[in-house]
Structure 1
Amino acid sequence: MSSEDFIIRQYRNRIRKRVLSTMLVGLILSVLVFLDIQVGSSSIAFKDLVDAVLKGPAGGSSASFIVWEIRLPMTFTCLFVGASLSLAGLLIQTITNNPLASPYTLGVTAGASFGAAIAITTGFALFGQIWLGVSLAALVMALTVSAFIFYLGSKRSLTATTLILVGVIMNFFFQALQQYLQYRASPEIAQIISGWTFGNLQRSSWISAGVS
């Protein structure tokens, strides 16, 4: 066997393993999603769950209401947010060529949290919806931090290690600003900021799932 044939064979084996791994992870994820929808404070029997899914939101039963108005929006929001975080981590690790890099280490997450804290403190709303204003402020700050890091990497020719160090500094900087806002805010506002930072799926809806 020539070296070229050996490389091709190794490549095909690697692709086959990745496909099988993806299928296995997809199967496990499907089972977990099903269990997440079925199990809860009000357990739903398998037959009732299937009927609720097939009949849709207009099923009229209590199981349909629980599945379509509470559990499915929460589940899909969790899936989309998790996939987005994974994709963000993959992109940053690829760009910096560092397996330990993430939106947290580069300060992007801290910048987004600070933007959300500003919107919550000032009561900024978009189209009369505060949650839209908070999401927009977080997105703008995250893009601002990302643009600054991109500028340092492209114009100042900083290495990946230096960029990560800059990101760590920005992370602590924005965290300090957010802590200052929470200190100056009322207890109610500070609690909202803290809840937004840690995340909460209890208020999930189909709108939040679509935005995610």
Structure 2
Amino acid sequence: MTGGTGNQRSIRMLAGRSILVVGLVAALAGCGAGAGAEPGESLEPTGPATPHPTAAETPEPPAPEPTETPAAYAVDCDALLSADQLYEYNSNYGVDPEYAPISPEAAQAAALGGTACGWSNQTSGAVVEVAAATPTASQLEALRADAATGTAVPEWGEGTFAVVDGIGTAQVFDDGRWIVVSSGDFLEPADANALVKDVLAGA
């Protein structure tokens, strides 16, 4: 009976060791897979997150370019051309109460905040226009370039004359002012000479 009891004890000891070995293997296997990992889920790092640009890194839109505004040049028509000067030029001319700018230059001068005036011949209906404005520096540069296509008239200082669509127009640039004198009666600079000089003297 003693031998049987010894055999049984040996079997129990071997069985206990087997259970211990199995448990240890299972524990080691669990550590290798990673604690808390779900089947099919990888615990490997996915790489650093892409940082979002901060407010300081966001480029600001460019500032708008400053715009130039011409100074208004609102004067009475008598200040541009007096009644006496007009009478000396041609006594048949009088103020045109229904006047509206005819030449493109007179219309542009008015649009730039200047003054445009018209006198009509009581017999022929011809109109003499006188306009003046004080454009900005960049506007003056563009106007000079356009006027340069005409014939230079040094007698007026920085002045030119041209006939376009039957209207003769004198343009003079004088101390920041743009002066326009035009009429369908002007065929050459001499036709406008007296009036241009009168306007330069009084404008």
Q: TM-score, normalised by structure 2?
A: 0.18
Q: TM-score, normalised by structure 1?
A: 0.18
Task: Return the structure number with greater strand share.
Answer: 2
Larger radius of gyration: 2
Structure with larger RCO (C-alpha < 8 A, sep 6+): 1
